[in-house]
Amino acid sequence: MKKPAVKKTVTHLADGRELVYFDAHDDTVRDAADPRPLTPVTSASEIRHDPLLDEHVAIASHRQGRTYHPPADSCPLCPSTGDRHSEIPADAYDVAVFENRFPSLSGDNGRCEVVCFTSDHTASFADLTEERAALVVAAWTDRTAELAARPGVRQVYCFENRGTEIGVTLAHPHGQIYAFPFTTPRTATMLRTAAAHRARTGRNLFDDVLARERAGERVVLAGEHWTAFVPYAARWPYEVHLYPHHRVPDLTALGDDARAELPGLYLELLRRFDRLFGPDAPPTPYISAWHQAPADARDEFALHLELFTVRRASGKLKYLAGTESGMGAFMNDVSPESAADRLREVASS
């Protein structure tokens, strides 16, 4: 697939929030204004530190009033049509990114953005073409660079929650980007472990994990530049990690060949997830999480995707039990080897 053309247009909504269009055609014009009588967004997000765990918690009580499961004809992520005005003034779009109106992080405490993958309300990421998926990757990359450069931002996190079982409150296909003012707990743990591994062996931990998995039985999908595998100690019933073969700290550092191969592999993984539980099963709920290096640890960290579902069998969900929610000690009902077998079985023909 050739490198897609990307036209970026930056504008603003009626309340001053930034809106960025990413289009596949250079001649696209984005000049529709937001006619809504919106007042400037005021949010009171606060970052508090837990001294026992040495972790940060965002307090964002203003989010209690955010939009919750609106009907399809009132979706705030659909294009604006006629007298119905949404968060996106255009009557159609390719990919659009805007500041969240109900952010968990704001001001000096970071930033939250919404990424709309398509203007088609009934679609999902897996329905996109490779060219459109590449445009989403371009948007993730652009926003990672822009947000990482903002004062006070320590880490940029691109992710998608799909399905009501995950807690999604808007059905339109979309993801989010969080610019954290701190290194997230999961990343901090990986960095500590990687530092200990380096001190003990002289090698990079992520490189060693990838090499071991590429040589093992849990590989699900492999390309020339990427490998997807079920990790040896998977926490979730169906969990896949996707790594580039050449270690880079974040999406901005990917080489052209790896960037070009990514959309097709990622789409195949999402389509396999939707086939896991049979043709009559509802769409598979999942979380898709891009792990990127924080600002001060780019040398040792490795960009990778973690994709997992909370569905463990047809009609059955994996709920976090007391050991998991209370102590962080996970118990998986599906062996990683069986999960890898199933994910290979449902490959596209």
CATH of the domain at 66: 3.30.428.10
Is residue 1 one of the residues assigned to a domain? no
pLDDT above 90 (res 326): yes
pLDDT above 70 (res 65): no
Residues 102 and 127 in one domain: yes
Tell me what pLDDT residue 51 has.
Answer: 96
116 is in an annotated binding site: no
Residues 196 and 338 in one domain: yes
pLDDT above 60 (res 1): no
Q: What is the DSSP string of 214-233?
A: HTSS-EEEE-SSEEEE--TT
Is residue 213 one of the residues assigned to a domain? yes
Is 174 catalytic? The answer is yes
**Cα Rg of the chain, angstroms:** 20
172 is in an annotated binding site: yes
Average of per-residue pLDDT values in the chain = 94
pLDDT above 70 (res 228): yes
Give helix 185-201 / helix 205-214 axis angle, nearest 10°. Answer: 90
Residues 62 and 192 in one domain: no
Tell me what pLDDT residue 229 has.
Answer: 98
Residues 77 and 100 in one domain: yes
62 is in an annotated binding site: no
Tell me what pLDDT residue 253 has.
Answer: 98
Average pLDDT over residues 290-305: 96
Residues 279 and 161 in one domain: no
* Residue 263 in tokens: 């959309």
Residues 169 and 221 in one domain: no
Q: Is the pTM of this model over 0.85?
A: yes
Residues 228 and 286 in one domain: yes
Q: Are the beta carbons of 115 and 158 closer than 8 angstroms? A: yes
Confidence grade of residue 120 (pLDDT, cut at 50, 70, 90): very high
Is residue 290 one of the residues assigned to a domain? yes
Segments in 40-165 forming alpha helices (H): 130-148
Which residue in 85, 174, 197, 304 is the catalytic one? 174
Residues 65 and 165 in one domain: yes
pLDDT above 90 (res 45): no
Q: Are the beta carbons of 147 and 179 closer than 8 angstroms? A: yes
Q: Are the beta carbons of 266 and 279 closer than 8 angstroms? A: no
Tell me what pLDDT residue 73 has.
Answer: 82
Q: What pLDDT digit, counting tens, does each position of 72-91 carry?
A: 788 999 999 988 999 999 99
Strand bridging mode 286-291 / 7-12: unpaired
Q: What pLDDT digit, counting tens, does each position of 15-32 carry?
A: 999 999 999 999 999 999
Range of the domain at 261: 185-345
Is residue 53 one of the residues assigned to a domain? yes
Please state whether 69 falls in left (phi above 0), alpha (psi between -120 and 50) or beta. left
pLDDT above 80 (res 347): yes
pLDDT above 90 (res 349): no
Is residue 91 one of the residues assigned to a domain? yes
Q: CA-CA distances (angstroms) from residue 294 to 104, 142, 191, 249? A: 19, 16, 10, 8
56 is in an annotated binding site: no
Torsion sign, CA atoms 253, 222, 266, 273: negative
Residues 244 and 157 in one domain: no
Q: How many domains does the chain have?
A: 2
Share of the chain above pLDDT 90, in %: 88
Q: What pLDDT digit, counting tens, does each position of 152-191 carry?
A: 999 999 999 999 999 898 999 999 999 999 999 999 999 9
Q: What pLDDT digit, counting tens, does each position of 108-117 carry?
A: 899 999 999 9
Domain endpoint, select from 165, 180, 195: 180
pLDDT above 80 (res 68): no
